[in-house]
Amino acid sequence: MTVIDKPVEAEELIRRATELQPLLARNAAKCEADRRVPEENIEAIREAGLFRIMLPRRLGGYETTIKTKLEVSAALAEGCGSTAWVTALTNVCAWFVGNMSGQAQEDVFGADPDARVAGVFAPSTDIEKVDGGYVVSGKWAWSSGCLHASWAYVGTMQLGPDGAPIDVGHVIMPMSELSIEDTWFVAGMKGTGSNTVVADRVFVPDHRYMSIPPVISQGIKPTEHNDEALYHAAFVPFAALILIGPLLGLGRAALKLALEKAPKRAVSYTRLATQRESTAFQVKMAEAAMTLDDAILHAHRAADDIDDWAARREHMDYVTRARVRGDTGWTSKRAREAITLILDAHGASGFADSSPMQRIWRDANTAGRHAVVNELVSDEVYGKALLGFGPEDQVTDLV
C-alpha cells in the first residue's frame, strides 16, 4: 500500500484536474454516446490521484477539505459533466466509508487505496439480522459510478414485526457479489452510467453496517480515528454540498464558451457584426457572470462552514445544517439560471448537436434536479429552522 508522506496542496489537486480538461472535453461526446465514462478518463483521474481526495491519509489518500473537493469537481466539469459527476460521487462515497468502522475502511481500502465505491442512500427494507451481521437484498437506483466501482455503499431500513422502522442504516458490499441493471436512460448526464445495483441475499458483517440517525443528529460515527478532522464534518450537509461542484464547473464552461464565440458570432437579423459589439449581449454576460458568482459564493460559504466546524471537531448545530441545505439548493438554482441566461444570449445554434453548449445545458438541468439539491425542499428546510421548528417537524430526516 502506498502511503502519502506529505500533504498535497489544494492548488496542486485543482491544477491536476484542470490539466485533464482537454482530454475530458475530447471524450465528452463518446462518454455521452456510450452512456458511461470512458476508461481513458477513469485511468487519467486515477493516475492524477483524484479518486483519493476524500480518503484518509493513513490509507493512502489526501484527506483534503470539502472546499477543495468542490473546486476539483468544478474543474473536471469544465471538460465533461458526466466524468466530474462520477468522480464527485465516488469521492464522497470514500468519505462515507471513512466514517465507518476502521475494519470496514480496511476492508475497502487497505489492500487497494484506488478502490472505488458507488453509493445510494434510498433504503431497501429487505434486510435480516443474522449471527455476525445481516443478509441484505434489494435494488438501488441511481448508482452513479457503479460501472467503475469495486464496492457499493447503500441504504437499508430495518422494520419491526408491526412494520414500523427500527433503524435506518448504510452498508457496504463488494460489487463482485452484486449485479447491475441497465436502467440509466436520461436527457442529461447520460455518461454517468447511474444504473441500478441489485443484491440477492448478500451477507454483510456487523462492522460494515452504520446506523444513520445518530450520525445525522449527533455526529456520532463508528470510526475510531477521531483525530481526523475531515470525518467530523456534518454528514448530510457534506453529502448534499458535494453534488453542486459539477454544476459550478458546467456554469463556468458555458460562460467561457459564450465569451470565446462572441467575437466570431453575428447577431442574426441585426446590423451588428458580432455578439461582442452588442450592448444587450454585454449586459446579459454580466448578469450571467454575476449569477454564477452568486452560486459560487453560497457554495464556498457552506463549504467553509463545514470545514471550520470539522476542524474544531464539533458537530454543526441544527440551524447551520439547515442553512447549508439552503445554500446547496440556492447554488443549484443559481448555477442553472446562469446557464440559461448564457444560452439566451448565445443563441439557438447552441442547441446544435455539434455544440458543447446543449450538452452543458442538459447536464446541468439533470444534475441540478437531484433530490438532495432540490431548492424547494432546501428552502423549506431552512425556513422551518429559522422559524423555530425542530428536526422532528421537518419534511425530511436529511438535515
> What pLDDT, in 10s, does the model give residues 125-139?
999 999 999 999 999
Architecture of domain 117-212: Beta Barrel (2.40)
Q: What number of other Cβ atoms are within 10 A of residue 314's Cβ?
A: 12
Superfamily of chain region 10-113: Acyl-CoA dehydrogenase/oxidase, N-terminal domain (1.10.540.10)
Distance of alpha carbon 111 from alpha carbon 50, whole angstroms: 18
For residue 132, which of 161, 112, 103 has the smallest C-alpha distance?
A: 103
| Backbone dihedral angles phi then psi of residue 353, each to the nearest 5 degrees | -55, -30
Range(s) within the chain of domains with CATH label 1.10.540.10: 10-113
In the predicted model, is pLDDT for residue 222 greater than 80?
A: yes
In the predicted model, is pLDDT for residue 34 greater than 60?
A: yes
Single pTM value for the model: 0.95
Q: Are 178 and 196 in contact (CB under 8 A)?
A: no
- State the cell numbers at 360: 452543458
Range(s) within the chain of domains with CATH label 1.20.140.10: 235-393
Sheet of 195-205, strands arranged across: 127-130, 133-143, 195-205, 179-181
pLDDT tens track for 322-367: 999 999 999 999 999 999 999 999 999 999 999 999 999 999 999 9
CATH of domain 235-393: 1.20.140.10
Distance of alpha carbon 58 from alpha carbon 122, whole angstroms: 30
Percent pLDDT > 90 in the chain is 94
Question: Cell match 439557438: residue?
Answer: 348
Pairing relationship of beta strands 151-159 and 117-124 according to DSSP bridges = parallel
